[in-house]
Amino acid sequence: MAKELFNYKEVYDTPYTVQKFSQKLVLQNPFPLAKIVIFAFTLTILLVFFKKPIGLIGDVINGMNIVIYGGVPYLTSKYLMKLQPDGKKLHYYLKDVVLFFFKVKLPKKQYCHDEEVKHIKS
């Protein structure tokens, strides 16, 4: 009797989804948790760092601040969910970029054949 092999990659790659927030708030279709987190993070950045410029735009064009506060996080989360840089998932890619920045770019290290070179001046 031959053994049957199963590929669990598809099962483990399914995203975490949210469908029920409380007893009274239940969504009809499940929503990816990563999209909610990206939306909330982008909205927080907009509210903390860009509140005055968006407020000025909202004063010039009535209601535009609501469009910006809703549209920019939505479009950002939609784009980032489709993005898979270097074939990796987004959070792994961002972690690698941050580590590269702090370990290689900031100390201005140079490498040759995976070994650090100390005597090259740039």
Give me the tens of pLDDT residue by residue for the chain, a chain 122 residues long.
678 888 888 888 788 888 888 888 898 999 888 899 999 999 999 999 999 999 999 999 998 999 999 999 999 999 988 888 887 888 888 899 899 899 888 888 888 887 888 765 65
Task: Say what the pTM is.
Answer: 0.70
Q: How far apart are CA 48 and CA 42, in angstroms?
A: 10
